[in-house]
Structure 1
Amino acid sequence: MSLPQPVPPSWKDLGKSSNDLLNKEYPFNGASLEVKTLTPSNVSFKVAGNKDSKSDIITGDLEGKWADKAHGLTVTQTWTTSNILRNTVELENQIAKGLKLDLATSLAPEKGAKTAVLGSVYKQSGFHTRATLDLFKGPTFTADAVLGRDGFLVGAEAAYNVTEGKVTRYATAVGFNAPQYSVAVHALNNLKVFTASYYQRINGDVEAGAKAVYDPKSTAGGVSLEVGTKVYLDRAAFIKAKINNAGVIGLGYTQALRPGVKAQFGLAIDTQKLNDPTPVGPSHKVGVNFVFDA
């Protein structure tokens, strides 16, 4: 008798280890601050702000989240400095085990713009599927599914415009997950854009990853390639480095200053424009991020 299969990652998380390694914890574009708090009544608040180094525009948002874990209910409300109100209601493991339903809405009062998306997620042993219905855009129905067995993964995604009665987008992917490494190959944008990603935990202190993208429109018939690594200096700090085939080097440093307080620093250097008279941009970028989690 075969052992039960683990729940595979969702469609959006195929290749997540490599994407996180290459994209997260690189605060290049200015200064940002994030503060998280939790009240005794199980209501959490998050305040986030960012000052863009190129435009000097300051943006931010205030988020409040209430969770009733006993009944699987979560309500999230967000108000941004762009005067956009977002609301999300989630209900998990109540109608059926492994099923989550959610409704996400947004409203921009000044512009009169609004969105509403119904979503569902269902996951079981060896199976993970999601579906969304965008009520105002189209309406558009989007569904994806991932099957997994013994580490092998197969997934597909499709979007259907209800009004026009046609499939507007489709994609597929294959991958393999192992305890120390993972690989994934995607065929996106109606099988016109292809990506391949690789991630490996070399040992307890070192991680490495790479991603290649073939897009006939943006890569001029060639392939864009990016490789990176993450090295833990100790339990409280790590450094990250990456480079792409355009000669842009990215460096990141994260330091836990104390429990709940984290500082991150990022630097991007265009090696083909080292003589740029401007030390920070447009060819080179630098940024910092502070996180306070109470």
Structure 2
Amino acid sequence: MIPPKYADVIKPVKDLFGKDYPVGFTKLEVKTKSVTGVNFTVNGAQDIKSGAILGELKAKYTDNANGLVITDSWNTKQVVSLQVEAENNLAKGLKLDVLGTSTLDASKYSLSSNIQYKQDNIFSTARFDLLNGPAVTADVTVSRQGVIAGAEIGYDLVNGAVTKTNTTLAYAGPDYVTALQLNDAFGTLSASFYQRVSSQVEAGARATYDLKKGGEAKENNVVAEVGAKYSLDKSANVKAKVNNFGILGLSFTQALRPGVSLTLASLVDTTRFGENAHKLGASLTFEA
């Protein structure tokens, strides 16, 4: 069995606490597909506080016969990008991609390359920033009988310095994931847990302890959070989360009709209930 890539080891936890909470923004997403197989995605978001609007148009073409995916995008910050991906061309389990971005006036640009290799019990990636640095970030996960171990390291080739060090030890069961992580050059210790309790209920918890602060500021050393998702039916679900600082998150998602869904969300500071310290957000998605 192929393990998840390093960034996805605790993906169920990240999705439970991160997805469906578009707080602070009003978002619109439209997805369509042409008869030639090109997928178009239009994203728009307005910052509720500042009124600033950001939009993006993305086109993605997939050539299954040759294992190629070509994606180009343009956004309202005048940044264009082109990504070319090739999978299983040179070897089974090997994926290569090149991503280039540039502003329209060419004042800012970047070029990066990614190598991904996966086989039974191992998943490794390497990302090369060819212009800013150059720098490389590499990670690997290995698994056996549900146990997943992984590590990630970043290295600045110019200065000869390690820029990132993260490690993960996890266990994935049929309906749950639990993990322990040392991140930020062993500066923070994190524990997380996710379980699909039933077909309708998902629950999870996570906590992060700042090892660098130690006993200096005990009240701020730990950030702990619990969350849950309940599916009302096939077309609607509610989510809730709360942390030890009293920040309560609530979310409701409803499929209005096939291909159309609406999400409403809020973050409420329960310690400052009567103040202007709360955030609202909404997201509307069309897919055809």
After TM superposition, the score normalised by the length of structure 2 is 0.96
Distance, in Å, in 2 between the alignment partners of 1:289 and 1:79 is 21
**What amino acid is aligned across from residue 257 of structure 1 in structure 2?**
L
Equivalent in the alignment of 2:247: 248
Aligned equivalent of 1:285 = 279
Q: Superposition RMSD on alpha carbons, in Å?
A: 1.4
Which amino acid letter does the alignment assign opposite residue 86 of structure 2?
A: L
Partners in 1 of 2:213 and 2:265 — Cα distance? Answer: 26
Give the CA deviation at 1:216: 4.9
Matches within 5 A, 1:139-218: 139-216=134-211
SS of 2:92's partner is: coil
If the length of structure 1 is used for normalisation, what is the TM-score? 0.94
Find the residue that maps to 2:202 and give its secondary structure: strand
Q: Deviations over 1:31-64 (max 9, x none)?
A: 1000000001011100000011111101110001
Asked if 1:261 corresponds to 2:260, the answer is yes
Cα gap change, 1:218 to 1:290, in 2 (>3 Å) = farther
In structure 1, distance between residues paired with 2:54 and 2:162: 36
SS in structure 1 opposite 2:109?
strand
Secondary structure of residue in 1 paired with 2:65: helix
1:112 equivalent in alignment to 2:112:
no
The structural deviation recorded for 1:215 is 2.5
Q: Is there any run of 5+ residues in structure 2 with no aligned partner, and where?
A: none
Q: Matches of residues 15-94 of structure 1 in structure 2 within 5 Å?
A: 15-94=10-89
What CA deviation, in whole Å up to 9, does each residue of 1:209-242 have, x standing for no partner? Answer: 0110122568945210011000000011000000
Secondary structure at the residue paired with 1:19? helix
- Alignment correspondent of 2:2: 7
Q: Please tell me whether the aligned partners of residues 187 and 212 of structure 2 are also in contact (alpha carbons under 8 angstroms).
A: no
* Residue in structure 2 matched with residue 235 of structure 1 by the alignment: 234
Q: What is the SS of the residue equivalent to 1:70?
A: coil
Deviation (angstroms), 1:168: 2.2
Q: Could you tell me which amino acid in structure 1 is paired with residue 2 of structure 2? A: V
Give the letter aligned to residue 108 of structure 1: T
Deviations 1:160-181 (A, max 9, x none): 1111223222111100001111
Q: Deviations over 1:39-91 (max 9, x none)?
A: 01011100000011111101110001111011110010010000001111100
| Post-superposition CA distance 1:228-280 (Å, at most 9, x none) | 0000000110000000011010000011111111110101110011111x4xx
Question: Which secondary structure state, in structure 1, belongs to the residue aligned with residue 22 of structure 2?
Answer: coil
For 2:33 and 2:102, how far apart are their aligned partners in 1? 26
AA of the residue aligned to 2:228: T
Find the counterpart in structure 2 of residue 3 from structure 1.
none
Consecutive unaligned residues in structure 1, runs of 5 or more: 1-5
